């Protein structure tokens, strides 16, 4: 999902001078400018006769040069800029990457029409964080400020419906493996542990990917690397958790076969859940759905279903040869 466009939040108060102006003329222009322009970050933008952005100068450079020097002779010609249709997520990435105080905004004709400041981006990033948090817990950012109980109920119900459907699916899966549960009743004791580890791994992986997406550090070309990373992290974490829980199961139930089944199930579930968590945000983005949804009820439901299938299939094979 797009977090809005730069054109919707840009400010139209900025300092701009002609590329034919001298430093003396620029300083005079600066002194006579309205207060709201003067209070903006200390950049002076340079435009040509058609108001196209051609450069930028910092205030300190103006004060250290001869008054008769032309602005075009000291301006920085390679200007990092955004257009009015740029997504605010991309603007946030530019601010984080370049540490600018402000960025110029141009229109389709390449004319300078406004600026966005670092303060603007802090506010936008805060709002986007609220949206992502709301998605993760299964609601909407509107609930944060809403006082309407019917509206809050309406916002929560769709996400709770996802939880209901996933819960019923898990119940059906448990029904399919009723024989295994009756044969080795101790398998039921470790279901909460297996599901908990799987859900946590999937959520962690998806949340990290979504956060990197927001900062522009996770693109489609990074899928292979992220998947490779999550698989290796899953292998290490899965083996550690699997050995610990499997060892506990062996000592508690006095059944090394059960312990082995639990250990292998946890290891495989953690590996798969990490991979799912890394891939789902990209899948959502490819179909133009907010990737943050992948960090909410959907990732939990997906991990639960996959984990139960792995747990009972693997346990059934190891304990009963079925």
What distance in Å separates the CA atoms of residue 91 and residue 82, rounded to the nearest whole number? 7
pLDDT at residue 113 is higher than 80: yes
Q: How confident is the model at residue 282 (pLDDT cuts 50, 70, 90)?
A: confident
**Is residue 28 within 8 Å of 42, Cβ to Cβ?**
no
At residue 155, the pLDDT reads 64
At residue 297, the pLDDT reads 75
Q: Average pLDDT, stretch 21-35? A: 76
Domains and CATH numbers, the chain: 6-125 (3.10.580.10), 148-320 (1.10.357.20)
What distance in Å separates the CA atoms of residue 76 and residue 83, rounded to the nearest whole number? 19
Q: Average pLDDT, stretch 263-277? A: 88
Q: How confident is the model at residue 40 (pLDDT cuts 50, 70, 90)?
A: low
Q: Average pLDDT, stretch 265-292? A: 82
What distance in Å separates the CA atoms of residue 216 and residue 27, rounded to the nearest whole number? 37
- Interacting residues of 278 by C-beta distance below 8 A, sequence separation 6+: 205, 206, 209, 223, 226, 227, 229, 230
What distance in Å separates the CA atoms of residue 241 and residue 269, rounded to the nearest whole number? 11
pLDDT at residue 147 is higher than 70: no
What distance in Å separates the CA atoms of residue 272 and residue 114, rounded to the nearest whole number? 47
At residue 1, the pLDDT reads 38
What distance in Å separates the CA atoms of residue 15 and residue 69, rounded to the nearest whole number? 18
- Interacting residues of 17 by C-beta distance below 8 A, sequence separation 6+: 25, 26, 29, 44, 45, 46, 47, 71
CA 301 to chain centre: 20
At residue 126, the pLDDT reads 57
pLDDT at residue 291 is higher than 60: yes
Residue 166 three-state SS: helix
Q: Average pLDDT, stretch 48-55? A: 89
pLDDT at residue 136 is higher than 60: no
- β strands within 107-219, DSSP E: 112-117
- Provide the token pair at 124: 């936008």
Q: Average pLDDT, stretch 7-13? A: 80
Strand partners, 17: 46
């Amino acid at each position: 999902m797009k977090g809005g466009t730069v054109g919707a939040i840009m400010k139209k108060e900025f300092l701009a001078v002609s590329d034919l102006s001298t430093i003396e003329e620029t300083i005079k222009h600066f002194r006579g400018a309205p207060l709201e322009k003067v209070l903006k970050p200390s950049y002076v933008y340079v435009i040509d006769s058609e108001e196209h952005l051609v450069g930028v100068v910092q205030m300190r450079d103006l004060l250290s040069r001869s008054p008769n020097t032309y602005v075009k002779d000291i301006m920085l010609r390679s200007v990092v800029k955004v257009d009015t249709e740029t997504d605010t997520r991309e603007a946030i990435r530019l601010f984080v990457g370049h540490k600018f105080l402000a960025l110029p905004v141009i229109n389709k004709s390449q004319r300078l029409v406004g600026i966005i400041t670092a303060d603007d981006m802090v506010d936008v990033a805060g709002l986007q964080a609220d949206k992502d948090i709301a998605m993760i817990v299964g609601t909407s950012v509107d609930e944060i400020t809403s006082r309407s109980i019917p509206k809050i109920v309406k916002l929560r119900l769709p996400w709770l419906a996802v939880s209901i459907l996933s819960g019923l699916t898990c119940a059906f899966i448990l029904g399919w493996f009723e024989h295994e549960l009756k044969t080795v009743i101790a398998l039921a004791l470790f279901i909460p542990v297996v599901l908990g580890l799987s859900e946590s791994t999937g959520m962690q992986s998806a949340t990290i990917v979504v956060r990197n997406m927001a900062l522009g550090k996770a693109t489609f070309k990074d899928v292979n690397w992220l998947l490779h990373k999550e698989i290796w992290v899953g292998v290490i974490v899965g083996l550690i958790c699997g050995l610990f829980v499997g060892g506990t199961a062996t000592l508690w139930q006095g059944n090394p076969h059960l312990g082995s089944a639990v250990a292998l199930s946890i290891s495989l579930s953690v590996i798969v859940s990490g991979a799912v968590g890394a891939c789902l945000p990209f899948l959502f983005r490819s179909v133009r759905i907010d990737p943050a949804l992948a960090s909410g009820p959907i990732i939990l439901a997906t991990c639960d279903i996959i984990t139960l299938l792995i747990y009972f299939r693997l346990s059934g094979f190891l304990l009963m040869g079925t």
